[in-house]
Structure 1
Amino acid sequence: MPKVKTNSSAKKRFKVTGTGEITFQKAFKRHILTKKSTKRKRAMSLKGTVHPSNMHFVKRLLGLK
């Protein structure tokens, strides 16, 4: 049987924590930041966690399942 390849775009976007959660960087914080509020930008700088309903799909992309 051939080996299953990890999705290259997924391994750049997601990171598995020590407790098994999968984190990602939130979107919309690259440019055009002057019109966005400080509260909104601060919220976007925090890591997001993958929702349990999408966990099986992301794990499959990362080759964890």
Structure 2
Amino acid sequence: MPKMKTKSGAKKRFRLTATGKVKRSQTGKRHGMIKRTPKQIRDLRGTTLVSEADAKVIRKHFLPNG
């Protein structure tokens, strides 16, 4: 059985924490900043955790090697 490969799209979008949770960047910061308030832009900085139901799928199918 060959090794499972990590999905290349997932490795650009997700990272695993030391405890195995899945981190992702905030959505809504790619374009259209002119229509967002400065508070919205500030609040979208940094990263957030994926919900546990989605994280289970991501770990199993997209990031099998961590």
Give the structure-1-normalised TM-score.
0.84
Partner of 1:23: 23
Match of 1:45 in 2: 45
Deviation string, structure 1 residues 8-54 (Cα, Å, up to 9, x no partner): 10011001122322111112212221210112111211311010111
Which range moves more in the overlay, 6-15 or 35-44?
35-44
Aligned residues: 65
Distance 1:38 1:19 in 2: 33
Any idea what SS the aligned residue of 1:53 has?
Answer: helix
Structure 2: stretches of 5+ with no match in the other structure: none
> Which sections of structure 1, spanning at least 5 residues, go unmatched?
none
Amino acid at match of 1:53: A
C-alpha deviation, 1:64, in angstroms: 4.3
Equivalent residue letter for 2:24: F
Q: Does 1:9 align with 2:9?
A: yes
Task: Calculate the TM-score normalised by the size of structure 2.
Answer: 0.83
Equivalent position amino acid for 1:49 in 2: L
Q: After TM superposition, which residue ranges in structure 1, 4 or more long, deviate above 4 angstroms?
A: none
RMSD: 1.6
Q: Distance in 1 between matches of 2:40 and 2:47?
A: 13
